[in-house]
Amino acid sequence: MENIAGILLAGGASRRFGGNKLAACGNDTVPIGVRSATQLQAALGNLLVVVPSGNKTTLALFDGLFEVSVCVDSSDGIGRSIAHGVAARSGADGWLVSLADMPFIQVDTIANLARTLLASTSIVRPRLSGRAGHPVGFGSAYRSELTSLQGDQGAQSIVNAHGDALVLMDTDDPGVVIDIDRPEDIATNSNVS
């Protein structure tokens, strides 16, 4: 998909899950993190998985399947992981930032977001029944703001600061609002895909 890079954030601590949730499998026996990465890769063709340093399980999950980059300061918050990923793909015309614990987003939804981003070069976000979801796309005009992010707020501060540039793409894809926080979330949502 032209020059839109997918940045998959795989640096969470999985505290509520009780173990590495990205390695947990749904009904299709594909680990959650791998499924999330596969969906982005299929839609965009350009994917970077950002993993935390010191987490060998997460690194091993993606290494050899996708391009992986270790963010040494990911413990400083999700903002650092976003900054790291965007800096590593700084030549892109835009970025779709996605979370590795959201495995049910449809490939067509991701592709539509990328097309919308290319057409508007602003900020795009999917919306399901009035509820904003993920992934969130940013045009190249936001490169310096994205690479300067820190802390746990992620890119929400950029979305808030540029609300007039936000394009909400309505979708019927429930995957844009389903993340896996607890083991029961897998079983509850396994029929979504």
- The CATH code of the domain that includes 162 is 3.90.550.10
Range of the domain at 80: 4-189
Q: Percentage of the chain surpassing pLDDT 90?
A: 69
User: Is residue 132 scored above 70 in pLDDT?
Assistant: yes
User: Is residue 1 scored above 50 in pLDDT?
Assistant: no
57 or 146: which leads in pLDDT:
146
User: Is residue 144 scored above 50 in pLDDT?
Assistant: yes
User: Is residue 11 scored above 70 in pLDDT?
Assistant: yes
> Residue 20's pLDDT is what?
76
DSSP SS3 for 189 = helix
Domain total of the chain: 1
User: Is residue 116 scored above 80 in pLDDT?
Assistant: yes
Tell me the average pLDDT across 136-159: 93
Mean pLDDT (the chain, rounded): 89
Burial 153-176 (b: 16+ CB within 10 A, else e): ebbeebbeeeeebbbebebebbbb
